[in-house]
Structure 1
Amino acid sequence: MTIENNYSGQKQMLTISTLAFFVSVMVWFNMAPFQSTIQKQLALTGEEIGALMIVNLALSIPGRIIIGRLVDRYGPRNVFSLLLITMSIPCFIFAIGTNYMQLLISRLILGTIGASFVVGIRMVTEWFPARQGGLAQGIYAGWGNFGSSFAALTLPSFALLFGGENGWRYAIFITGLIALIYGIIFFMTAKNTPAWKAFPYTKDTNPIKATTRNDLKLLLLISFPIYGGMGILIWTLQQNGVLPNQMAFLFYIAIGTFYLFNMRKRWKENIEYLKLGVPDSDKYSMRSVAILSIGYFATFGSELAIISMLPMFFLDSFAVNAVIASVIASSFAFTNLVARPAGGWLSDRFGRKKVLLVLLALLSCLYVGMSFLQNSWPIYLAILLTVCCSIVSQAASGAIFSMVSLVKKNRTGQISGMVGAYGNIGSLCFLAVLNISHSSIFFLTIAAGLILCFVATLTMHVQKKPQTNTKNSNKKLVRVH
């Protein structure tokens, strides 16, 4: 049996990592089915309940960066287990919370579980050869993300089963208990790599380093939106009236100061690192990281934004009731089960760069079509266009992540953390555009972002296969243009 084919147990590892991400997403969005119940029972305003949903996304942005470093340093088995176990605590606190501040703080901390995505990406990368990596990562992301829909479909039934005004508390508490138990199960059953491979741990948890001076400048540039995304969150809370203007101003100053301090520190560290001389085996393309990040910003970011706005859009634009509008919006979740794996499979089969370019071009055209949607359209045509956008955007997301592990194998956690964070930032930016404009401008902005990604991808160099880390071999990287 050849080394490349000696991946015994890979299906089991894919299954348990996908379930771990599924549980994480279910916990992450366990509040969504009970928004109106929580608002009524605790006498919260519309702005306060909206703020809870916003802060639920906040720490997933920097969390993906930090978790990416940790998984490269300590391995996915340890990090995923610890994340599930520790995040059960704020979940329990939210379930028993009796005042708004308890709910707000626990929800803010709980948002960190959204960073779980990057852990499984690293684990799947180790368990599948490059020719199968796109499909495997697509299955992991597509079926794992279905946890949000599963929560929406099942948690209300749990609440009804227990009955009473505290039914929602029992349902949310159960999700925390599932995370706690599965965290233990994952630690006992998961393996970082097949037996013949040595997991390429990094020596520290420091931020990702550039390997050339030009890459260092690009690294500082693409780090800015991470902090900018937090600024958009503060702005949204300010606009909703939840955060007073004076306090928001202080947060802006703190974020700006933190960015400048960190970038100054990172510059110094990287200059010292570059002065020592970077071996060719350690070099990788920061431009590829930037292009993939921008691509995920436009594809997955638009997907998250549209899921948030689609029910209200169909309610306002077409003569449908809330149930029908919710069903239409759910198409994004259900098509994800097939579309994201399909994007990975197409990349494995026909070439990653070629497939991504086709999907980006097609998706930009579809979003231009969405900008012309109005109530004079037949409803079936509007639904068809929406479903097509759903399928292509998720396939494009799968195609992007099929390329992440090809940039630098032992930095996959950090790179996927950066790329994944850009997806969350994209959703915040697109929703901010929607808040200050019209839906047609919203869709055209997404289309423009996709065209920019298409042009950038044309310049990207894609590796044929990632570096192989074995106990007895050290193969060189091969690049194709």
Structure 2
Amino acid sequence: MEAELTTQQPLSRLNVFSGRGMQMRTFQLTWLTFFFCFFGWFGIAPLMPLVREQLHLDKGQVGNIVIASVSATILARLLMGKLCDTIGPRKAYTWLLVVGAIPVMLIGLSNSYESFLLFRFCIGIIGASFVITQFHTSMMFAPGVVGTANAVAGGWGNLGGGIANLAMPLVAAAFVSLGFVDKANSWRYAMVVPGVLLLVMATLYYRYTQDTPRGNYTDIDRERAERKEGTFGIALRDYRTWLLALAYGACFGIEITIDNVAATYFVDNYKASLILAGALAGIFGGMNVFARALGGIVADRAGRAYGIQGKWLLLSGVLVLEGIGIVFFSMAPSLTLAITAMLFFALFLKMANGTTYSIVPFVNRQAIGSVSGIVGAGGNLGAMLVGFLFKSKEISYSTAFLYIGLGVAAVGGVVLLVRAFAAKREAAEAPAMALAA
């Protein structure tokens, strides 16, 4: 039975403790589904020390696996952005969950570097869930609060990566303690758990959400009339789409890279145990509980006070601070200082995530899905590119983080310069923003 249709308007207020009404029910299911997508996407990351030992992987092969984990997401996000504009987020999300669950559950069948690499690549399609999450939330909330809603949904969903780092070593240990498997093979059994959860969420999402406050795409005419074949081209022709994609590569791209390598980094550089390293990586992800939402909240306030330019200036500032924090993280001589630096840059990184997607809905209302897809793909492209630093045998993980920090700060400067150049021209277009709505 499909979700019952309602004919309501986008909400102008976000009450995160409410599940009443189609808008809030969709919001709650959207971020929760995204949470489990992230959990499945990065479920194997804290178990990589076990995989590395059993499959005899070298540093270059581990680097290739990190790159593969985010590569498929690039194309998947572009596709899902377009599908949101055409078939609607409800069906797009359902299909993504069903298809994505398969490699998550089957990665445990890997017995070689090549087969593991292939499964890790396929799992990456789940990362396209972010685009659907942001699109669906944008449909349910009014312009004055959409930045906050997007940031909360994205942040709470991204938390799944942090919880995976914390929980998956415990899940693997539980299978060992129950006598199902030895420690070396525990990662194989553990990955079945997130795969099953994805199938559960596919059922719930299809039954209890709808595409827009007015109804599903198949049941109303307005959205069908608006779903032009040219939405992707519209998004591509707007320089703001590309600037946001660059910024997102410098924040979210770095986030998912750290989700992939943090546990291994803490094990290798600071001799942490597998469970401790997973917990520390989980702290990084756990900051999504509030930090990404904080970026959206501050961005919405900056938008109401200073217009769209206020949001862009905020984005530039948090990117620069993120970059500075990563530089300090790369040079931390002790575990305590590394954790301190991580908390600092994680705050601004996740705020940058939230700020980026507080701007996305205002680029072009008729092509939100395509804009979201391109910007989201930019995040994964950034992760793929920096992944080559961690693959290199000549560059240590610490040096890689140093280069990343400098690059992120430079991107913050580029955002500032480009927006300063365009500010006069867009000032004349500001009334169309209607940020005070």
TM class by shorter chain equals 0.7 to 0.9
1:86 corresponds, among 99, 123, 135, to 99
Mapped to 2, the partners of 1:421 and 1:22 lie a distance apart of 19
2:327–2:405 CA contact under 8 A, matched in 1: yes
CA drift at 1:141: 0.8
Mapped to 1, the partners of 2:209 and 2:408 lie a distance apart of 39
2:252–2:379 CA contact under 8 A, matched in 1: yes
2:377 corresponds to 1:421: yes
Tell me what 1:15 maps to: 28
2:131 corresponds, among 118, 135, 145, to 118
1:299–1:450 CA contact under 8 A, matched in 2: no
Which amino acid in 1 is paired with 2:384?
Answer: L
CA drift at 1:399: 0.9
TM-score normalised per structure 1: 0.72
Tell me what 2:407 maps to: 445
Mapped to 2, the partners of 1:408 and 1:342 lie a distance apart of 24
When Rg is computed on C-alpha atoms for both structures, the one with the higher figure is 1
Mapped to 2, the partners of 1:383 and 1:99 lie a distance apart of 34
After superposition, what is the alpha-carbon deviation per residue over 1:425-465, rounded to whole angstroms, capped at 9, x for unaligned?
A: 22233344574663444322221121112222332548779
Which amino acid in 2 is paired with 1:151?
Answer: A
2:158 corresponds, among 133, 136, 145, to 145
Which amino acid in 2 is paired with 1:209?
Answer: G
Tell me what 1:172 maps to: 191
Gaps (5+ residues) in structure 2? 1-6, 14-20
Q: Number of residues paired by the alignment?
A: 397
Compared CA separation, residues 91 and 305, structure 1 to 2 (3 A): closer
Tell me what 2:3 maps to: none
Mapped to 1, the partners of 2:136 and 2:31 lie a distance apart of 10
Tell me what 1:402 maps to: 358
Greater RCO (CA < 8 Å, at least 6 residues apart)? 2
Which amino acid in 2 is paired with 1:394?
Answer: K
Mapped to 1, the partners of 2:51 and 2:8 lie a distance apart of 56
CA drift at 1:64: 0.7
Which amino acid in 2 is paired with 1:443?
Answer: G
2:322–2:345 CA contact under 8 A, matched in 1: yes
1:135–1:348 CA contact under 8 A, matched in 2: yes
CA drift at 1:15: 0.7
1:191 corresponds, among 200, 210, 220, to 210
CA drift at 1:122: 0.9
CA drift at 1:137: 0.6
Gaps (5+ residues) in structure 1? 212-218, 220-284, 466-475
2:130 corresponds to 1:106: no
After superposition, what is the alpha-carbon deviation per residue over 1:198-251, rounded to whole angstroms, capped at 9, x for unaligned?
A: 56246566771149xxxxxxx4xxxxxxxxxxxxxxxxxxxxxxxxxxxxxxxx
Mapped to 1, the partners of 2:54 and 2:410 lie a distance apart of 43
CA drift at 1:157: 2.9
1:367–1:389 CA contact under 8 A, matched in 2: yes
Mapped to 2, the partners of 1:331 and 1:93 lie a distance apart of 28
The range that moved more, 53-62 or 349-358, is 349-358
1:336 corresponds, among 285, 288, 297, to 288
Map 1:382-397 onto structure 2 (within 5 A). Answer: 383-397=339-353
Tell me what 1:303 maps to: 255
Compared CA separation, residues 327 and 173, structure 1 to 2 (3 A): closer
Compared CA separation, residues 430 and 396, structure 1 to 2 (3 A): same
Compared CA separation, residues 441 and 181, structure 1 to 2 (3 A): closer
2:163–2:286 CA contact under 8 A, matched in 1: no
Compared CA separation, residues 183 and 208, structure 1 to 2 (3 A): same
Mapped to 2, the partners of 1:44 and 1:169 lie a distance apart of 16
After superposition, what is the alpha-carbon deviation per residue over 1:1-41, rounded to whole angstroms, capped at 9, x for unaligned?
A: 99565893322111101111111111111222322333444
Mapped to 2, the partners of 1:20 and 1:374 lie a distance apart of 33
Mapped to 2, the partners of 1:106 and 1:61 lie a distance apart of 16
After superposition, what is the alpha-carbon deviation per residue over 1:119-162, rounded to whole angstroms, capped at 9, x for unaligned?
A: 11111011111111111111111111111222222233333333
Tell me what 2:418 maps to: 456
CA drift at 1:402: 0.8
Mapped to 1, the partners of 2:409 and 2:203 lie a distance apart of 43
CA RMSD of aligned residues (A): 3.5
After superposition, what is the alpha-carbon deviation per residue over 1:61-98, rounded to whole angstroms, capped at 9, x for unaligned?
A: 11111111111110000000011012222223323344
